[in-house]
Structure 1
């Protein structure tokens, strides 16, 4: 069933315009983007199936282009492009917020921002949020990429980049593709090594965030800095 086949008052677009976006369920919002289902499956069934497959709306929005390409029902480039556009808009909106105000006025926004960028990476990556003297975002850069089990991180390169960007502080971040956000002993040791190296050039390490699909952990909140 396509959206146009529904009674007018049951169509997500009309419902959204009449009652506001908060009145729509997650499957209805997704159906509004998809517009049509596929052979043997209406758009609402397809939306529900996709949400279950990706672990909810957040999981779907964290998906990479290849994940969507391999998903039955999202084979068409138009649907994939629209979902990827929504994801990119969310990333840019969060980046704007973090550039306009101090990062740690909203720790949850930082975690969500890092989730959108790192959580669905298939391999470990190590990224750094470079901040100005007011703790506002200058840039988020992925500096190192590794395998599923380890990443080589070079403190000198992070120090050089912090100096180039005139950063006053940083938030370190990396992902755990395994799904757990519990930091390892190696993560803790690396944090202390980077903290000491950056302190030599007067750059503070404010946090080290570990992310996985649907979860994140702040090492600062756990007292591990």
Structure 2
């Protein structure tokens, strides 16, 4: 039995079927998603090689890496041959990829419109399973002074502390703000609570000569802009 199990370990495959060697010889771009995941898990199960098992895992999410990144450790462990260590390796690798996209978005230093807000924050917010509310603080040239998470878990007037938002704006010398939050459900329609907190922050900011330029709702596949829709 042990001999049968070990035959599905990558080190026992023929040279043409070994993704680690393929990566070294031809570069990581030459590997399929399944081959990359196979390197992470190292071995398959009694009936599937690591690549075959990886293909099954990918098939369960329609070969969508974004959806794969949303699977919990427990969900990954439902696949025969995936224990906690392998599940953690997959989750960690996908999280690194998500953070790398965030670094790319972080190169945006000036907000010229809603698209810039989306490109800046989508790598951070687009795939989250929960809601987060962010504030982007801008100077008089619309350059990003600071961007920070204001609240996590929902959007209501009690979770977004207007006083803290404006206190931080004064500390940073910001002259305008952009509000942003995500909708994990994928809907791009602003809720009543979204409209209320936008109005509340806009009114409070005006008293300090600070302008709210936009409120952008971000989903995995798109965004909604209050400014673009003339709702500010």
Q: Answer whether TM exceeds 0.5 for this pair.
A: yes
Displacement, 1:57? Answer: 0.8
SS in structure 2 at match of 1:179: coil
Displacement, 1:207? Answer: 3.5
**1:138-149 equivalent positions in 2, closer than 5 A:** 138-146=146-154
Q: 1: distance between equivalents of 2:194 and 2:59?
A: 32
Q: 1: distance between equivalents of 2:145 and 2:13?
A: 45
Does the Cα contact within 8 Å between 2:132 and 2:181 map onto a contact in 1? yes
Q: 1: distance between equivalents of 2:45 and 2:187?
A: 35
Is 1:83 aligned to 2:91, yes or no?
yes
Displacement, 1:87? Answer: 1.5
Q: Bigger radius of gyration, 1 or 2? A: 2
Is 1:196 aligned to 2:203, yes or no?
yes
Does the Cα contact within 8 Å between 2:122 and 2:218 map onto a contact in 1? no
Is 1:110 aligned to 2:120, yes or no?
yes
What is the match of residue 218 of structure 1? 224
Q: Which moved more, 1:88-97 or 1:32-41?
A: 88-97
Q: 2: distance between equivalents of 1:37 and 1:109?
A: 38
Q: 2: distance between equivalents of 1:21 and 1:156?
A: 49
Is 1:119 aligned to 2:128, yes or no?
yes
Aligned with residue 151 of structure 1, among 144, 150, 156: 156
What is the match of residue 27 of structure 2? 20
- TM-score normalised by length of structure 1: 0.71
Unaligned runs of 5+ in 1: none
Displacement, 1:217? Answer: 0.8
What is the match of residue 182 of structure 2? 175
- TM-score normalised by length of structure 2: 0.69
Size of the alignment, in residue pairs?
215
Q: 2: distance between equivalents of 1:92 and 1:98?
A: 10
Deviations 1:108-144 (A, max 9, x none): 532432335x6222xx332334455652362422424
Does the Cα contact within 8 Å between 1:99 and 1:137 map onto a contact in 2? no
Does the Cα contact within 8 Å between 2:105 and 2:120 map onto a contact in 1? no
Does the Cα contact within 8 Å between 1:34 and 1:43 map onto a contact in 2? yes
What CA RMSD, in Å, does the superposition of the two structures yield over aligned residues? 3.5
Does the Cα contact within 8 Å between 1:181 and 1:217 map onto a contact in 2? yes
Displacement, 1:159? Answer: 1.6
Change (3 A) 1:144 1:93: closer
Q: 2: distance between equivalents of 1:78 and 1:45?
A: 15
Displacement, 1:206? Answer: 4.0
